[in-house]
Amino acid sequence: MKKRIFIHEVVTRDGLQIEPQWIPTERKIELVDALSQTGLAKIEVTSFVSAKAIPNLRDAEEVMAGIRRNPDVDYVALIANARGAERAMAAKADEVNLVASVSETHNRANMRRATGASFAGFVEMMPLLKSGGVRVNGALATSFGCPFEGDVPAQRVMDLVGQYVEMGVDSITLADTTGMAHPAQVAALCAKVLERWPGLQVALHFHNTRGMGLANVLAGLNAGVERFEGCLGGLGGCPFAPGATGNVCSEDVVHMLQSMGYDTGVDLDRLLAVARRLGAVVGHDLPGQVVKAGKISDLHPRPAELV
């Protein structure tokens, strides 16, 4: 039996939030609908945040209302405050993704408040979310380093995971906002978290800013993590983190894991077909590799002189 690994797609949230030009609502809906047919476990569709902070996702309600849902997929929305929780619940998100940063400076840049204030808000929101039956994921941005503060102590990450667990989240995500994680660090932190909370569902969210994205996925995998977030085409980035660049590329992650003998549940050819159309949606070239090179099983004709 192949080991099952779950892939969470974030392109219409992390991917589109940093795109400078407006992406029409219809294109977003088409993208989610196509991704819904590829075998992904979760799709983070959008965020219910301030339209001033993230103008490209100001159509969150319309996108959520317009998508055709596959019952096998969990449709996730990122939120930062109570207003976002109400909007996400009205839009019938299956899961909300609470986000706060481990680093105070990034939390202030991104959310305009102290990390403690973000958490205090989450604690207040939990009864409403629980009564509405929505799953709650707790994400920690800058878990592996902060573009303003540098090193982030592992103990601080552990404390904040503990706060999420205590308030009753269903799962957590450790996010490397600007690609500062390295594989040894990922292995150590994941081992710590899984040892302290053995039943906890943990996902990893990496950016490939320094070329360590797939190596970090592998380090997390070897530490026992079964869920990875990725972004189609390798788009993505936080507009409030200087130097942010794309997430690990979903189709490259799936291609690597399948080549290694893991069951990702994803139909790679279908995912690649959606990735091939993404450049036209955003109007520029994408960092994804497999879509350009082809799968390792896609061979070329032999040189004529050898035939």
* DSSP code at position 234: G
DSSP annotation of 49 = S
Q: Find the binder of ligand COA among 83, 92, 196, 284 (CB under 6 A).
A: 83
User: 158 is written with which tokens?
Assistant: 């552990």
Beta strand pairing status for 227-230 and 6-9?
parallel
In the complex, what is the shortest distance from the CB of residue 171 to ligand COA, in angstroms, rounded to a whole number?
A: 17
Catalytic residue at 238?
Answer: yes
Residue among 2, 3, 4, 112 that touches ligand COA (CB under 6 A): 112
Task: Determine if 14 is a binding residue for Zn ion (CB under 5 A).
Answer: yes
Cβ-contact 16, 60 below 8 angstroms: no
Specify the stretch interacting with Zn ion by CB under 5 A; choose among 10-18, 61-69, 129-137, 298-306: 10-18
Residue 80 lies near ligand COA (rule: CB under 6 A): yes
Smallest distance, ligand COA to C-beta of residue 236, A: 10
Which three-class secondary structure state does DSSP give residue 183? helix
What's the full length of the chain, in residues?
307
| Shortest CB 202 distance to Zn ion, Å | 16
111 binds ligand COA (CB under 6 A): yes
Which of residues 11 and 187 has its CB atom nearest to ligand COA in the complex? 11
8 A C-beta contact, residue 185 and residue 114: no
**Is the separation of the CB atoms in 97 and 76 below 8 Å?**
yes
Give the x/- contact pattern for ligand COA in 234-253, rule: CB under 6 A. ----x-x-------------
Should residue 9 be labelled a site residue for Zn ion when binding is judged by CB under 5 A?
no
Contacts 24+ apart (CB under 8 A), 270-276: 270/37, 270/38, 270/39, 271/35, 271/38, 271/39, 271/40, 271/232, 273/34, 274/31, 274/34, 274/35, 274/38, 274/232, 275/232, 275/233, 275/250, 275/251
User: 92 or 112: whose CB is closer to ligand COA?
Assistant: 112
- Choosing from 190, 231, 238, 249, the catalytic residue is 238
Of 259, 265, 279, 283, give the one whose Cα is nearest residue 226: 265
Q: Does 17 bind ligand COA (CB under 6 A)?
A: yes
Beta carbon nearer to ligand COA, 169 or 271: 169
- If binding is defined by CB under 5 A, does position 176 make contact with Zn ion? no
Minimum CB separation from ligand COA for residue 137, in Å?
A: 13
Asked if residue 271 binds ligand COA (CB under 6 A), the reply is: no
Contact 266, 251 (CB under 8 A): no
**Contact with ligand COA (CB under 6 A) among 48, 75, 119, 144:** 48
d(C-alpha 222, C-alpha 251), whole Å: 20
Residues of this chain that interact with ligand COA (CB under 6 A) are: 17, 47-54, 78, 80-81, 83-84, 87, 99, 110-112, 141, 238, 240
Positions marked catalytic: 238
Residues of this chain that interact with Zn ion (CB under 5 A) are: 14
